Structure 1
């Protein structure tokens, strides 16, 4: 009887511990919302806090090492005003092939703000090519504590219509996964396996 009670207690404690760990590990750290209060436009707002210094977060967004450790398998970063961040999700591809994503660095305030504009290739939905000049990503960085940084990303210029409403779900899922990868890389120091 004692053996059965011990086994039940062990299983109970293990299941409580396991379920608590699953909750912690699956905690959603990236909050996404779509703001449609602007006339005929949508803004995709995504924010998160990461338990590292502002310098570490800034370096991840502005260096080849940061992009390749957190976001994509290959990147080429020329971070300056009117510079570019070129990336590819295909590790067998090369930078500048047709699947390369080119982000133009329009401006930045060091360790505070970056404004990016994507070059819309044929791999993007056609509706986005038409609206290319209106689409921007503005990223704010805020030091909350010496080892806690808040990041808020604003995807702006999307039109409030059925086509863009469908795209929002895709962007939310993809961006949340990218930001979760960034958080993991920054907090563990281990590059993401692409």
Structure 2
């Protein structure tokens, strides 16, 4: 369970056609690439505009409504966000996670890489090379959100990470959907289900 919360946001092609209807469930697809790494894609529809989704995924304030109880944008580096699952955590603490944004196309794409994992995170040497990409596409009055994670290595650590993030990213995107369906997560009361 601790690993599930450790990097729920960390993250090929989805085989559903663009514009295809999806339920409120998170869909998952995996593909082995030519270099033998695996790409995993999670996708969900949310009842929010692309601008609303963008704010939720690209700002510390937004992350705290669905992903983590505490998050901070670096004062020295506007492309670095730090977060923790412990509400008492502080920037720089051993239990924090740092993500570096590597591409921003407001309202459409946000690419990132985890550059610091919580102390003791399993398979960190394998995970540090995984890159993730959020893509937002308008669908009716809502948005399709796709989270693509590339670079899971073809080894035991990569397989363990794939198994973990298949469920962890599913839960993360479900929390994003719920954030817009029922409101921000009340971290003091626990996750809504």
TM range (shorter): 0.7 to 0.9
For residue 60 of structure 2, the aligned residue among 58, 64, 76 is 64
Residue 104 of structure 1 aligns to a residue whose secondary structure is strand
Q: Secondary structure at the match of 1:32?
A: strand
Unaligned runs of 5+ in 1: 1-26
Aligned-partner Cα distance in 2 for 1:97–1:78: 14
1:165 aligned residue: 159
Q: TM-score, normalised by structure 2?
A: 0.76
Q: What are the Cα deviations for residues 52-83 of structure 1, in whole angstroms up to 9, with x where unaligned?
A: 1111111101122211110101001359x961
Match status 1:123 vs 2:117: no
- The yes-or-no answer on 1:73 pairing with 2:66 is no
Question: Using the alignment, how far apart are the partners of 1:129 and 1:101 within structure 2?
Answer: 15
Structure 1 runs (4+) deviating above 4 angstroms are: none
User: 8 Å contact 1:42–1:156 — kept in the other structure?
Assistant: yes
1:184 aligns with 2:178: yes
Q: Which has the higher helix share?
A: 1
The CA deviation at 1:143 is 0.7
Q: CA RMSD in A?
A: 2.3
The answer to whether residue 104 in structure 2 is matched with residue 112 in structure 1 is no
Taking structure 1 as reference, are residues 42 and 130 closer, same or farther at Cα in structure 2, changes over 3 Å only?
closer
TM-score for both structures, normalised by structure 1: 0.76
The Cα of 1:131 is off from its aligned counterpart by 6.0
How many residue pairs end up in the alignment?
A: 165
Which protein, 1 or 2, shows the higher relative CO under an 8 Å CA cutoff with sep ≥ 6?
Answer: 2
Per the alignment, residue 6 of structure 1 pairs with none
In the alignment, structure 2 segments of 5+ residues that lack a partner are 1-22
Pick the structure with greater CA Rg: 1
Give the corresponding residue for 2:97: 101
Deviation of the 1:177 alpha carbon: 1.2
Separation in 2, partners of 1:55, 1:63? 12
